Amino acid sequence: MIIFNYYSLQNSRAVQTPILELQGNDTIIDSTYLNTTVDEVFAFQTLPSFYHGLLIALLLFVMDALRCFCYTSVFSVAYRVGQRLRAGINGLIINKVIRLKGGKGAKSGELLNIVSADGDRLVDSARAIGAAIVPLLGIILCWIIGYFVIGWPSLIGNGIITISIPMFLFAGKLMVKFREEGSAASGKRIELLSEILASIRLLKMFAWEDSFLKSVKKARKEEAHSYFKMNTSLIILFGINTIIASLASIVTFSSMYFLEMEMPSPAKVFMMISMWNAVASLLRMVPLGLSALANLKTAVTNCAAFLETEELVPYVQISGNNDEHVAEITNADLSWNSDGESALREINLCVRKGEVVCLTGAVGCGKSSIFGALTNQMVLRKGTVRISNDVSYAPQEPWLMAGTVQENILFGLEYDFSWYKSVTESCGLLPDFEQFDQGDQTCVGQEGVALSGGQRARIGLARAIYRKPALVILDDPLSAVDRHVAKLIWNSAIRELLRDQDISVLMATHQLIFIPEADRIYHMDNGRITETGRTVEKRSKNLSCTNTGKIDGRKIMEPYSEEPSTDDPREGDALLKSKKQKEMEEVRPSASLEVYSHLIMKGSGLGLFLFMLFTQILIVVFVQGTIYWIGIWMSFIRGDLPFVGLGNESVWLNNNFYMLGFLIAGLGVILGTLAKSVAFSIMIKRVVDELIMSLVSGLLNTKQRFFDVKPKGEIMARLSKDAEEVETYIPFLIDNFFISGIILVFITVFVSISLPWFVLAFIVATIAAFTVCRSGCQAMDYFKRADLLSRSPWYSHTISVISGLPIIRVFKREVEVINKFYELHDQNSLFFYLFFCSSRWLTTRCDMISVLLTSSIGLFLIFSASGPDSKITPDIAGSILAMTLQISALFQMTFRLAVEANSRMASASSILHYTKNLPLEQSDDPINPKSDEIVTSSIIFNNVSLRYRRELPRVLRNLDIVISKGENVGVVGRTGSGKSSLFTALFHLSDAIEGEIIINGRSTKNASLSELRKSLALIPQDPTLFGGTIRFNMDPEDKNTDKELLDSLKTCGLDKKIEMLGGLNGVLERGGTNLSVGERQLFCMARAMVRKTNILLLDEATASVDGDYDANIQKVLRREFQNTTVVTIAHRLNTIEDYDRILVMDDGEVAEFDTPAKLLENENGIYYSMVNA
């Protein structure tokens, strides 16, 4: 309904399309001129006057010129309608995204497929109306003219053509079905690839590349099968369309002969042949129109399904400015879904002006749900929720948009220097700014990809404070930073800066040392508030760590920016600057012979390509030869001599001989069409499979650094839009190019035999067309590359909006986000439309060249037949003119298709360029040791140094560390000291490693990356889960039994939760959003347990859980990993206080390494100062 409503708004333009299309297809009318020309020129073999012949040629020129300009108008009107339709639909989509409930139902891959692929399908389908209507009008015209020319026998040929329409419609219905299947499969593949890119670091650490590659292959197989059926159906329709005119001619004139009817004159015979060819040309648009309509239906279905997704229903009441309570929940029950169970029950909570209110409770108790309730993300079942109109929010998982640090903090607000300085200083960001090469003007990249979790959290906190709201909602912002940094933020930002501004704070935290200082405390359990006020305070004091005290002011002033999870700050920040990012912009190469040869040799194979080409030539020879054959037959029937140079009359036997020729041609065309259709579809399938899977395989084996600097939208553009371009657009451009090109060559050779002068005209026209194409090709290449490049920021912005919906809505930046989407969309639309304009510029000029070429044939024919010694019979003239009428369309079509296919081939070239230039990791040829070679489970660093790139400074320097079998080692150090870089070295995420690392008694130099990484288990700081079953998330490689998986989940206390979700076959949403952050962390722990490795690494894995859960996790670790070497990076010192040894890092070097007791004996040591800070 949306589509048709929009068309109604553009009705004046939409109605013009079929009218202009009918005017553009004036070849049916041209056929009447063929009749006049042959009758006048060859009646009794006399020459008409020079002026009469010139007039006939001039009329032919005028009609063809009119066709050219009408076609240009058709495309111009249709594409403008399509562009407006795409813009309108995408506008509805982005506005719908903003209204989605907490991003539910908006998967980035699905949304990307809608705004990119489906949007382009709307543009391409704009001409479908004309393609569906005009052939019907053409057939009606053909029926009328045919009856007046040869009488009722024309009904036979016209009937054959008319009967083909239901066949086209049936095939079109199949194509719609196959297209919908292919689109659905494409969406699944794109969504899977989107998840892979979002979690590529974890995939590498767990060595899951092969498992996820199999998943992609499975998704691609389903997608390819649907597109194979669609492509085969469409190509067969093209083949049927090619033979329909010849079949009509053969059956009609054969019937007249066998019924002993008077055979019409050559002029009338070839007029009917030409007219049927013209109708067939119109019908040729039917498969394209049906394909476009199938795409339109798919696009409309996808858009409609998305637009019908459940929207956010506002339930939060806005309190007045003078209201004492800035947030209040009264007797409220809330759930995340309208049909789900209540996540919060009987909630009563209030926050007064200027108060600091803390939420405490175990993992999964409902703290984050409280924030969801206050930010309008849930469904209110009963009660009331009131909140101030001026609120800011810092979620537990920080969200950053692509832009500078300052842009993320200001978030659209005006710059206030003194307030900005106070906010960034209180959030501990000034030392980070000093380390950044461009300070706060450093570009953070999409989602802050190369910043540490602590940096992202503090930037998000600064954004929330800078707004100067009435209420700041903070979801455990202190868990991602070290304790002394947390102390600084608590004192400077929350207790001082916000209190001075009379700003209220509602904060969830597991940092119990801060709770006694809160004005009000709420303790939650199982979705209920169970305790409030001083009771919680007393209990929190009892649970607080004994190692609490005042922080050393000197240490606060030291640089304490957390080291990036992917790299050293000095190196990572340099890569993130705007200038560097611009340098990293992709240079899209144009298609070259190397690209074509690669696609033929690697994708389809030379043999299959040559077979397809041979069958196409065979089809053209049979189809076009039918016109030639009819001319010979007409000469035989009248007793005239056959075509010049073909021997004496005895060669041509009798009518049965001609019937046999028609039968052979018909069978040859049918078999050739089937063989060519299947061969071409197989070739396309292999080519696209090769392109997609080579790129995916390459990406999975690419160095991590690549993903830290490349925008996700840019990579996804290669895997979505470019892949679809190669699979659905380019094949038919190439197919039609071969068809039109081969027919053009055949007609040129045929005409040149009778009209040698035509060779000269054809050469001149070809040179002129090449000159025009060279200019047009440059413009089309440029605009096509600009179109593809402009999609990257557009796609990245779209993906970013989904993950940042709660922030965008709370900060009331919906209008700015939508306007940014429009701006990026319009930039792309400009280049998208200019590509079309350059294509039509080229087409119009090639069309005019072909018109002049066609007119020259008419003149050559008139003058060649004027002499008394002319050997051109009426049959030859009729054949030449019947073919000539095809040249005007074929000439421009051949050159246009060649240029457009070459320009669109930039998509394939871009994929190949990406694949070829990926910085791959070292070869993964395994050197499997015998079991007795692994004599001990240990980690040894022998003089190890690490750089993230070889030209950058070392972030680890000369490490000599020995960790024995079964030893528990804690890693501490002030932020930026190199703790996470240890894990980077262990997993070989950088290849710039000096020295030697020995794991399990074996040098990593002698092990493949996959074997190395499979020997390690990791519990990451940011829990990562995938959309899919619980079993798949636990064990993607499918190596463990159900019992083993369930036992590990039970050990981690998740058995009841998993049972609620449906057991191992229960489905987790993407990112595990149907689990709390703490539950996700426990899930990651269970996943690490089933890997059954000798080494377990924990990267601040308990930061998101409360003290009780942390204690339970430590008990599980000690019980389940007794004989396992455990290395833990910790911010909470009490987590590792009973470990065997503590490794203290400082500036990339080993500062201290001994037992906790020994380290505490050194009062001047770093560990001693940290414990007593």
For residue 382, count other CB atoms closer than 10 A to its CB: 12
> In whole angstroms, what separates CA 1054 from the centre of its chain?
35
> Which two tokens mark 527?
């979705």
- What is the per-residue pLDDT across 678-712, written as a single tens digit (0 to 9) for each? 888 888 888 888 888 888 998 988 888 888 777 77
* Highest mean pLDDT (candidates 383-392, 657-666, 772-781): 383-392
Write the CB contacts of 331 (distance below 8 Å, at least 6 apart in sequence). 346, 347, 348, 382, 383, 384
Range of the domain at 450: 321-388+390-582
pLDDT above 60: residue 850: yes
The answer to whether the CB of 559 falls within 8 A of the CB of 482 is no
> Which two tokens mark 460?
């998000």
Instruction: Read off the pLDDT of each residue in 398-403 and give the average, rounded to a whole number.
Output: 82
Give the model's confidence band at 128: pLDDT under 50 very low, under 70 low, under 90 confident, else very high. low
Same domain? For 508 and 445 the reply is yes
- What is the per-residue pLDDT across 537-570, written as a single tens digit (0 to 9) for each? 444 444 443 333 333 333 323 333 333 343 343 3
Residue at which a domain ends, from 559, 582, 605: 582
Reduced to 3 states (helix: H, G, I; strand: E, B; else coil), residue 962 is: strand
Note the pLDDT of residue 544.
41
- What is the per-residue pLDDT across 242-259, written as a single tens digit (0 to 9) for each? 677 777 877 887 787 777
Same domain? For 576 and 597 the reply is no
- What is the per-residue pLDDT across 290-321, written as a single tens digit (0 to 9) for each? 667 777 887 888 888 888 887 878 888 887 76
> Which two tokens mark 701?
């084996």
Note the pLDDT of residue 486.
81
> In whole angstroms, what separates CA 295 from the centre of its chain?
17
pLDDT above 60: residue 647: no
Q: Please report whether residue 39 resides in a domain.
A: yes
Residue at which a domain ends, from 867, 900, 916: 916
Q: Please report whether residue 120 resides in a domain.
A: yes
Instruction: Read off the pLDDT of each residue in 402-417 and give the average, rounded to a whole number.
Output: 87
The answer to whether the CB of 386 falls within 8 A of the CB of 319 is yes
Note the pLDDT of residue 535.
45
Q: Please report whether residue 718 resides in a domain.
A: yes
Same domain? For 16 and 83 the reply is yes
Note the pLDDT of residue 377.
84
> Distance between CA 1024 and CA 288 in Å, rounded?
44
Q: Among candidates 91, 82, 6, which has minimal Cα distance to 798?
A: 91
Give the model's confidence band at 4: pLDDT under 50 very low, under 70 low, under 90 confident, else very high. very low
Note the pLDDT of residue 654.
64
The answer to whether the CB of 727 falls within 8 A of the CB of 684 is yes
Note the pLDDT of residue 640.
55
> In whole angstroms, what separates CA 739 from the centre of its chain?
32
Same domain? For 532 and 665 the reply is no
Q: How many helices (H) and strands (E) does the chain have?
A: 44, 22
* Highest mean pLDDT (candidates 426-430, 484-488, 725-729): 426-430
Q: Please report whether residue 1106 resides in a domain.
A: no
Q: Please report whether residue 173 resides in a domain.
A: yes
The tally of CA atoms less than 13 A away on the side-chain side of residue 443 is 17
pLDDT above 60: residue 646: no
Instruction: Read off the pLDDT of each residue in 788-803 and give the average, rounded to a whole number.
Output: 82
The residue behind tokens 């930026």 is 976
Note the pLDDT of residue 450.
59
Same domain? For 691 and 610 the reply is yes
Say which residue, 1049 or 450, is predicted with more confidence.
1049
Q: Which helix (H) or strand (E) holds 168?
A: helix 154-198
Instruction: Read off the pLDDT of each residue in 411-432 and give the average, rounded to a whole number.
Output: 88
* Highest mean pLDDT (candidates 249-253, 428-432, 603-607): 428-432
Say which residue, 759 or 33, is predicted with more confidence.
759
Give the model's confidence band at 277: pLDDT under 50 very low, under 70 low, under 90 confident, else very high. confident
Q: What is the 3-state secondary structure (H, E, C) of 237-264?
A: HHHHHHHHHHHHHHHHHHHHHHCCCCCC
> Distance between CA 37 and CA 94 in Å, rounded?
59
Give the model's confidence band at 932: pLDDT under 50 very low, under 70 low, under 90 confident, else very high. very low
Q: Among candidates 368, 581, 575, which has minimal Cα distance to 477?
A: 368
For residue 688, count other CB atoms closer than 10 A to its CB: 26
Q: Among candidates 391, 282, 375, 286, which has minimal Cα distance to 336?
A: 375
Same domain? For 283 and 395 the reply is no
Mean residue pLDDT across the chain: 77
Same domain? For 486 and 519 the reply is yes
Instruction: Read off the pLDDT of each residue in 788-811 and give the average, rounded to a whole number.
Output: 84
The angle, 0 to 180 degrees and rounded to 10, between the axes of the packed helices 209-258 and 266-283 is 160
> Distance between CA 773 and CA 841 in Å, rounded?
10
Say which residue, 48 or 121, is predicted with more confidence.
121
Query: Exposed/middle/buried for 511, CB within 10 Å: 0-12, 13-18, 19+?
Result: buried
Q: Among candidates 368, 348, 388, which has minimal Cα distance to 471?
A: 388
Instruction: Read off the pLDDT of each residue in 794-808 and give the average, rounded to a whole number.
Output: 83
Same domain? For 578 and 595 the reply is no
- Percentage of the chain beyond pLDDT 70 is 79
The answer to whether the CB of 975 falls within 8 A of the CB of 482 is yes
* Highest mean pLDDT (candidates 721-725, 895-899, 1064-1068): 1064-1068
Same domain? For 573 and 608 the reply is no
Instruction: Read off the pLDDT of each residue in 874-891 and give the average, rounded to a whole number.
Output: 68
Alpha carbon separation from 241 to 32, 155, 499, 506, 739 (Å, rounded) = 22, 19, 78, 70, 12
> Distance between CA 1131 and CA 1100 in Å, rounded?
7
Give the model's confidence band at 863: pLDDT under 50 very low, under 70 low, under 90 confident, else very high. low
Residue at which a domain ends, from 529, 556, 582: 582
Give the model's confidence band at 57: pLDDT under 50 very low, under 70 low, under 90 confident, else very high. low
Q: Please report whether residue 265 resides in a domain.
A: yes
CATH of the domain at 352: 3.40.50.300
pLDDT above 50: residue 8: no
Q: Please report whether residue 206 resides in a domain.
A: yes
> Distance between CA 963 and CA 941 in Å, rounded?
9
Give the model's confidence band at 419: pLDDT under 50 very low, under 70 low, under 90 confident, else very high. very high
> Which two tokens mark 868?
């008394």
Say which residue, 315 or 8, is predicted with more confidence.
315
pLDDT above 50: residue 16: no
Q: Please report whether residue 963 resides in a domain.
A: no
Phi-psi region of 184 (alpha: psi -120 to 50; beta: other; left: phi over 0): alpha
11-15, 318-322, 634-638: least confidently modelled range:
11-15
Same domain? For 453 and 494 the reply is yes
Say which residue, 949 or 1033, is predicted with more confidence.
1033
> Distance between CA 487 and CA 476 in Å, rounded?
13
> Distance between CA 763 and CA 760 in Å, rounded?
5
pLDDT above 80: residue 810: yes
- What is the per-residue pLDDT across 1100-1159, written as a single tens digit (0 to 9) for each? 776 666 666 667 777 777 777 878 888 988 877 777 888 889 999 888 888 999 998 888
Say which residue, 872 or 83, is predicted with more confidence.
83
Alpha carbon separation from 801 to 446, 787, 1147 (Å, rounded) = 11, 22, 37
Alpha carbon separation from 681 to 234, 667, 673, 907, 1013 (Å, rounded) = 10, 21, 12, 19, 40
Same domain? For 240 and 306 the reply is yes
Note the pLDDT of residue 1141.
92
pLDDT above 50: residue 613: yes
CATH of the domain at 86: 1.20.1560.10
Could you give the residue ranges of the DSSP H alpha helices within 725-813? Answer: 730-754, 757-803, 805-810
> Distance between CA 996 and CA 843 in Å, rounded?
64
What is the tally of structural domains in the chain?
2
Is this prediction's pTM over 0.85?
no
Same domain? For 910 and 892 the reply is yes
Give the model's confidence band at 462: pLDDT under 50 very low, under 70 low, under 90 confident, else very high. very high
Note the pLDDT of residue 589.
52
